[in-house]
Each structure stands twice: as structure tokens, then as C-alpha cells.
Amino acid sequence: MYRYDEFDRQMLEDRTSEFRLQTTRRLAGEITEEQFKPLRLMNGLYLQMHAYMLRIAIPYGTLRSEQLRRLAHVARTYDKGYGHFTTRTNLQLHWIKLRDAPDAIESLAEVGLHAIQTSGNCIRNVTADPYAGATADEIDDPRVWAEAIRQWSTVHPEFSYLPRKFKIAVTAAEKDRAAIRAYDIGLHLRRTRDGELTFEVMVGGGQGRTPYLAKTVREHLPAHRLLSYLNAILRVYNRESRRDNIHKQRIKILVNTLGVEEFTRRVEAEYAVTDGADIDLPDTELAAIRSRFHVHAFDARPAKSAAFEAAKAADPEFARFTRHNVHPHKAPGHAIVDVSLKVPGETPGDATSEQMELVADLADRYSKGEARIHYTQNLVLPHVKLDDVPAVYAELAKAGLATANIDLITDIIACPGLDYCTLANARAIPVAQSIARRFADMDRAELIGELPIRISGCINACGHHHLGAIGILGVDKKGEEYYQLSLGGSGDEKAALAQILGPAMPPGQIPDAIDAMVETYLTIREDGERFLDTVRRAGLQPFKEAVYVEAR
């Protein structure tokens, strides 16, 4: 995986000193809270309900074991011994003291971690396919490009005070595991028939109160021109977006106000007069970034593992784990192992310091020292030999990390909600817990099959409710928490926004409503249909009836 060199390290050191200085100036009253706010946000520090929250970047979701161990250490030393992995593949610590923040950040910097641009109106932490470099269905490692974007966008002189936040995601596989069409810019790397690497550039996706899927502005951008094309998009956005209404300042609003044709025309006009030589990385530097990923050599192994098959035959729970949490690897005899942070009844995405340390140890012993964060708030061990999967499973099970529910009904995304977040209208975590408890029977969950539920505590949609096969949005109704259901969304390569089902309901009715929809699905599904497929085929009506008619 990518290793920072001396330059990257000095950037982090200087950033740490700068933030220490800015904090000192704030504490001394030299700068106002209004002036300090964007500075601390660009260093990942939010003021929340109870304390400061530190949002630590995990660029393109990739961690070395020593970095994961350091996250555990920082969570234990400066917080309450646990952290929350987010849909942006960041780690949030929710109980930080402002005076401790520079020390926490300095500790992170020692292992090449940081909180740079995890918040604020700038180019945020870049995300990528969590299976990058491991999955067979990619044509190149998208993290090379994500890292190029990270460098270009870090402390960018022109694009650090944008109208609003700006998020970029990259994939190089046809199966979209990074929800790229929900991003301000989604990038899909492909190879043309004559072998050239090109990006499909999609712009203007986003969730929040006005959700949009990103629209294609360039079908085949030569990959080595990526940064100059991004520069053109950002410049058009920075200059032409509204700045008079915070709810209308994302690029999705500009794209949809101008229309994608006119927006594209403006970007292309800017790009036509952009001097790429000033911006694009030379091929030699791209190659150098690639080499700093230290691509692993995988042992030649037989595609089938006797030990793996024997364990499957001997232990039905392990067999279940392999059905849901183990995925094909590009190297024969290897597997990608998903580590679920969705124990029914617990907080989705939370991990204790001990759990992080265990995953770090397993990464060292079995996964080439590497772990990943998936935007579904789970962890991944990307490079496990099939022979070793039973041992990994046994270790995970001991730590409560072997829940075999990836993509099942209990693999719920939930934002921190009103338990932590000042923006929230309603709690998300207890709703997720109540649903997961209802479906804790693994046999039933498996019978139901793939069913992504996404819960947000407010319209900002951090819990991706627009992209859930079942989406749940918390709203405030005269001081009471109510929840609005929607159906049919997905963030994959066939991305669609969920449609609202009907009137909102109090939290106590949610598990029954979900149960009623699940029963309807089980009754009317056709062969091989997932819940999402049935909703898209049959429409909302049968589910509406199940929830609002039969329930009475």
C-alpha cells in the first residue's frame, strides 16, 4: 500500500504545526470563532452536541496495520476507546477536547495519517473502491488516481474556499462499490478498445435535501489529463456557483440549473484554454505513485483450498460466513474478507480500540499488513489466503467481528444522528438497532437475502437514505422523532434514488413496517429477485398497502 515519502511527511508536519498555531491564536483570542471555524473544519474538527468531533481521513479507505493500531491508540488516549467508521471511509472520534486535538493530530501524522480536508468547503478526502488492488473485476488500481487527486487537492491555493464541500470518488471496476454517482465528481476508469486508459467523468451527484445522481460530462477523458480536467470543473464551480444560499451552493445545483449540456460546454471551454503541462502529473510521477503503493506479489496457489472446503463442511456458521463475507480475489487461492461492524443491537460502524488492534494484527498475520474501510461502515481484510480464512474467522468470532451479514438486512448504514450530531432532527442509531434486533435470526436474514437499509437522522443524508433499497429518514414533527420510509434506491452501477413510500411514522412502528414489507417481498418475489429487484419490478404499491393498510 501507499507509503508517504519524506515530502508527504513534511507536509503533514507543517500542517500539524500550522494547526497548533491556529489553535493557539484562537485560544488567545487573536482570531474569532467565525474566522477559526473553517480552519478547524479543514483539520477535521467539528463542534457537536457534547464535545468536539475529530474526523480522521482514511484516503481511499486503505490502512496499513500500524496506522489502524495508531487509530486505536488515539481513540483510547484522547477519546473513550472507540471510534465510528463513516460512509466517507473516515473515522470519527466523538469526544475530543479542543486542547488535545493538536496532540492527537500529531500522533496520527507520525504514521502518515491526518484529518486534512475532512470537512469544510474544500476538496474532501477522496474515496475509492474498497476492493481496489484485490478484486478481479478492475482494470487498474483506482487508488493511484485517488492518491494523485489527494496530492493535487491538498492545500490547494485556488480551491480551498469553495462555495460548499466537494467530494470525489474513483472506481476502476464495473461493479460500483464506491457509490460514485452520489458524488460531486464520480470517476470511472476504463480501458478503450485500443488500450488507452480513460475516465468517464460524472458531475453533480449528491444526497442531502435535493438528491441528484451525477451526470456524465466526458465519456472518455485520457487518464493522464485527469487533474487538468478536474481543475477546469472546479474553476467553473468556484466562479459560477451561487454563494447567497447555503442550500443551493453544491455543484449539483449549478449543473442542474444550467443543464448538463451548458455546464459541460463551460467546463470544456475552460479546459480548452487550460495549460495541462502546469497541472497534470508527468507519466513518470504517476508511475512513481504507483510504485509507492508497493503492489503485492501473491504466491501462486491452487484456486481451491482443501482446508477452506473442509472447514466449510465442518462448521455451518463458517459456511454462512463464507457465503456473505468472503469475496473472490484476483489471485487464485486468495480471498477478500469483509469484517462486519454490524452486530445486531450495536452501533453500526463503531469499533473499539481492541477490535481495531485485532484487525491490525490479523492484517499483519494474514493480509499483507493491510486493511480497508468500506463505505458501508465495515472493514475489509483484502488479501487473505483461502487456507487462512478459517483461522481469520475464528479470531474475528472471538472479538465479535464475524457477523455473517454483509449486504443482508442487518448490514445497516446509519449516521451518528441526534445522539451526537447537532444537525440531526432524529436519532438514527436506536432505529438501526431495533431493526437489526428484529432480524437477528441469521437463517431468516439469509432467506431474505440482500437488503441494504440506510438511515439518516436528517435531510443531510449522511446515512445514504436516498440510496437504500429501504431508506429511512428521521424528521422532526412538532418535537417528536418521526421516520419517513422510501424504497428502491441504490448506490451501485445501476444507481437510483429511493422513492418516498408514504407518511412518516414514530420509531416504535418501524420494525413492524419493515417486517410487513419483507413479508410482502417474500410473497411476491420471482426467482432470483433481490428485494430491490422486486421493488423496481412491482412498484411501491404492494409495499404501501403492506405498511399503511394491513398494519391497521
Partner 1 sequence: MSKLVKRDGDVAWWVEDEFVFVPDEEQVPATGDIIVTMGRLLGEGDALLTSGRRIGVRLQPHEQVENLAYDLPQLAVVELVFAKFRDGRPYSTASILRGRLEYRGEVRAIGDVLREQALHMVRCGFDAFVPADGSTPEEWMAAAHRYRHVYQRANDDRRPIFVERDMIASGLGHNRPDEVEA
Question: Nearest approach, Cβ of 544 to partner 1 (angstroms)?
Answer: 44
14 binds partner 1, rule: CB under 8 A: yes
The residues, any chain, with a CB within 8 Å of residue 491's CB and separated by 6 or more, are: 176, 179, 181, 182, 464, 467
Strand bridging mode 215-222 / 197-203: antiparallel
6 binds partner 1 (CB under 8 A): yes
Sign for the pseudo-dihedral over CA of 475, 477, 478, 479: negative
Does 65 engage in binding with partner 1 (CB under 8 A)? no
Cβ partners under 8 Å of residue 10, min gap 6: none
Single out the residue of 154, 249, 264, 305 in contact with partner 1 (rule: CB under 8 A).
Answer: 154
The length of the chain, given as a count of residues? 552
Q: Which residues make beta-bridge pairs with 370?
A: 64
Task: Give yes or no for a contact between 132 and 371, defined as CB atoms under 8 angstroms apart.
Answer: no
Sequential DSSP letters for 28-95:
TTSS-HHHHHHHHHTTTEEE-SSSEEEEEB-GGGEEEHHHHHHHHHHHHHHSSSEEEE-TTS-EEEEE
Q: Which of 33, 194, 261, 278 binds partner 1 (CB under 8 A)?
A: 278
Specify the 3-state DSSP secondary structure of 507.
helix
- Please report whether residue 10 would count as binding partner 1 according to CB under 8 A: yes
* Number of Cβ within a 10 Å radius of residue 283: 9
Judge contact between 217 and 264, C-beta under 8 A. Answer: yes
For partner 1, the closer of residues 10 and 523 by Cβ is 10
Quick count: other Cβ atoms within 10 Å of Cβ 500?
13
Closest CA to 403 of 365, 330, 350: 350
Q: How far is the CB of 19 from partner 1 (least distance, A)?
A: 10
Instruction: Describe the crossing of helices 510-524 and 429-438 by its angle, rounded to 10 degrees.
Output: 50
Of 81, 259, 282, 506, the one binding partner 1 (CB under 8 A) is: 282
Residue 35 is a binding residue for partner 1 (CB under 8 A): yes
Residue in 111, 217, 267, 281 binding partner 1, rule: CB under 8 A: 281
Q: Does 239 bind partner 1 (CB under 8 A)?
A: yes
Q: Which residues pair with 32 in a beta bridge?
A: none
Q: Does 507 bind partner 1 (CB under 8 A)?
A: no
CA-atom Rg of the chain in angstroms: 23
Nearest 5°: CA angle at 246, between 243 and 249?
55
Binding status of residue 283 toward partner 1 by CB under 8 A: no
Selected range binding partner 1 among 166-174, 232-240, 349-357, 397-405, rule: CB under 8 A = 232-240
Of 270 and 419, which CB lies nearer to partner 1 in the complex structure?
A: 270
* 7 interacts with partner 1 by CB under 8 A: yes
Q: Strand, coil or helix: what is 252?
A: helix
Determine the angle formed by the axes of helices 65-78 and 353-366, rounding to 10 degrees. Answer: 170
Q: Is 296 in the site for partner 1 (CB under 8 A)?
A: no
482 contributes a contact to partner 1 by CB under 8 A: no
Binding mask 117-136 vs partner 1 (x if CB under 8 A, - otherwise)? ----x---------------
C-alpha cell recorded at residue 246: 447555503
Nearest to partner 1 of 44, 344 (CB atom)? 44
Is 512 a binding residue for partner 1 by CB under 8 A? The answer is no
**Contact call for residue 2 and partner 1 (CB under 8 A):** no
Q: Which range binds partner 1 by CB under 8 A, 270-278, 391-399, 401-409, 511-519?
A: 270-278
368 three-state secondary structure = coil
- Pick the closer one to partner 1 by CB: 239 or 304: 239
Considering the rule CB under 8 A, would residue 248 count as an interface residue with partner 1? Answer: no
The reply on whether position 273 binds partner 1 by CB under 8 A is yes
* 99 touches partner 1 (CB under 8 A): no
Question: Where in 155-214 is the site for partner 1 (CB under 8 A)?
Answer: 155-163
Residue 31 binds partner 1, judged by CB under 8 A? yes
Residue 22 binds partner 1 (CB under 8 A): yes
**Where along the sequence are the contacts to partner 1 (CB under 8 A)?**
5-8, 10-11, 14-15, 17-18, 21-22, 31, 35, 38-39, 121, 151-152, 154-163, 235, 238-239, 243, 273, 275, 278-279, 281-282, 284-285, 288
